Structure 1
Amino acid sequence: MKADLEKHYGYVFEDSLLSEIEKVGRLMEVKQGDILIDLNQEIRFMPLLFEGAIKILREDKDGDELLLYFIEKGDSCAMTFSCCMGSGTSEIRAVAEVDTRLVMIPVAYMELWMEKYQSWRRFVLDSYHGRMTELLETVDTLAFMKMDERLLKYLQDRAMVTHDDVIHATHQEVALDLHTSRVVVSRLLKRLEREGKIAMERHAIKLLQL
């Protein structure tokens, strides 16, 4: 774990904080599709990513999901910070977008490190700012973009966080993330393919325009 911490967070945290994370953190490896944090679950750990990507989803009263944003290596989740500091339960679902390696930090250390380490406090605040920017971008996408534009941006965002121009997902899975129907997604994917922006493969979508 020490090498991973130094590689991905050594430029952010001082050595003493890295040593504390190594001492209390729990290294985890999760598979694509695994749920790390679920709705209404008590938050006991906060994730720091080494490899992979996680998508953060919100669910409405009817059980339909909406993708809020992705987190990738070197990141953490601002929603988790909020729940940790408030001793509350999760208001989001965190799902591994690809196979992911991360360290889980017990929440008991969150507030302690906020007071003890300036680098940790700055990291938390920067993470809040970054996730807030992404949430505003999600709102703008919902309010101002047409569905075909939303779909292409969604595919580009997934390609960026997974570092792979081939999106391994069914039309139904894409529809769930975008809070729309499979029929709409299938129709728009065909349009994007005709426009030369994507190529359809079996259970996958190849981006031709990044």
Structure 2
Amino acid sequence: MKEELIKIFGTRFERSLIDEIILVGKCTRVSSGETLMNVGNYVKSIPLLISGAVKVMREDDNGDELLLYYLEQGETCSITMACCMGHKKSEVKAIAETEAKIVMVPVKYMELWLAKYKGWRNYIFESYQNRLNELLFTVDTIAFKNLDERLIAYLKKKSKVTKDNSIKNTHQEIAYDLHTSRVVISRLLKKLENMKKLTLHRNHIQILDL
């Protein structure tokens, strides 16, 4: 694990910090579709994503969901960190988009390392800024863009984080992520297919030119 951490964080983290992460962190592998965090759970560890992708969702009182952003290699979840700092229950749901490898760091080390390591402080502040930018992008797309534009942005992002032009989600799953209906998503996907932007198959969507 040390070589992976050095490769991913070596330019940002002090070597002694990497040694501490190895000492106290718990490395785990998760399968695609596995739930890592549910709304209402207390946050006990900070996730550092070593490989794969994780999607972070917001859930309303009716159980409907909205995709907020993805976590990729080398990233962590700032909303999770905020819950840790405030000793509050999680307000988001995190699901593995692909098979992923994650190092879970106990909460108590977050504050200790903020005072001890400049590299960790910079990483945490950068993470907050990146997640804020992504949340603003999500708000902008909902407020100012048509659903077809949101769908295209969604497919592009999903292709990027999975490193695959073949989207294996069902129309219903996409509808959940975008907080709309399956019928609407199916209609828009068919429209994009007619425009030669993608090809619809029984079990996947093949992106051609979005």
Tell me the TM-score range normalised by the shorter chain.
Answer: over 0.9
Give, as a single letter, the amino acid of the residue that structure 2 aligns with 1:16: S
Residue 16 (structure 2) aligns with: 16
2:107 aligned residue = 107
**For residue 2 of structure 1, what is the aligned residue in structure 2?**
2
- Residues in 1 aligned to 2:83 and 2:27: alpha-carbon distance in whole angstroms: 21
Q: Which residue of 1 aligns with 2:60?
A: 60
Distance 2:81 2:88 in 1: 10
- Residue type of the partner of 1:130? N
Equivalent position of 1:39 in the other structure: 39
CA-CA distance at 1:89 after TM superposition: 1.2
Q: TM-score, length-normalised on structure 1?
A: 0.98
**5+ residue gaps, structure 2:** none
Aligned residues: 210
* The 10-residue stretch of structure 1 (198-207 or 66-75) with the greater mean CA deviation from structure 2: 198-207
Measured in 2, the distance between the counterparts of 1:136 and 1:180 equals: 20
2:28 counterpart residue number: 28
Aligned equivalent of 2:201:
201
The amino acid across from 2:150 in the alignment is R
| CA distance in structure 1 between the aligned counterparts of 2:142 and 2:206, rounded to whole angstroms | 24
2:175 equivalent to 1:175:
yes
* TM-score of the two chains, using structure 2 as the length reference: 0.98
Separation (CA, whole Å) in 2 of partners of 1:103 and 1:202: 36
The Cα of 1:177 is off from its aligned counterpart by 0.3
Q: Distance in 2 between matches of 1:114 and 1:204?
A: 44
Deviation string 1:19-77 (CA, Å, 9 cap, x unpaired) is: 00000000000000001111010101111011100000000111100000001001111
* Percentage of identical aligned residues: 50
Match of 1:162 in 2: 162
Output the amino acid matched with 1:196.
K
Q: How does 1:63-142 map to 2 (within 5 A)?
A: 63-142=63-142
